[in-house]
Amino acid sequence: MGYWDSADGEQCPTKTWAATQAGAGLAALGAIFGVTTCLTSQIRGTEDDPLNYFIGGCASGILLGVRTHSYMTGTSACLGLGTLAALTKMGTIEGWRLSGPPKL
């Protein structure tokens, strides 16, 4: 089962495991993202909301700042990872593609 196979706020342990596996070398960031995104979705009672993903990405960025003992790294990573996660969710919802089908 993959991360996108169930609705937000459901299957939290499975989604956390999938996010941790996707984070290979940075497993803690993946786990924090998965747990925070899933819990935020449950607490807010919203599904498919990019704000949940922004909060999860921001939490991962804060962890990165804590690990490097740098407020600037944490702030920058919070904004960067949060924005990237929210845009990824928006793209998934709206069907954005990075490239079109191959032209023959």
pLDDT, tens digit, 9 for 90 and up, residues 32-48: 998 999 999 999 999 88
The answer to whether 57 touches 75, Cβ cutoff 8 Å, is no
pLDDT at residue 5 in the model: 74
The answer to whether 99 touches 78, Cβ cutoff 8 Å, is no
Q: Where is average pLDDT lowest: 26-30, 33-37, 61-65?
A: 26-30
Global pTM?
A: 0.75
Compare 2 and 91 and report the one with higher pLDDT: 91
Structure tokens at 37: 């995104």
61 CB contacts (<8 Å, ≥6 apart)? Answer: 74, 75, 76, 77, 78, 79, 80, 81, 82
**How far is it, in rounded angstroms, from Cα 100 to Cα 69?**
42
| Mean confidence (pLDDT) of the chain | 86
pLDDT at residue 67 in the model: 86
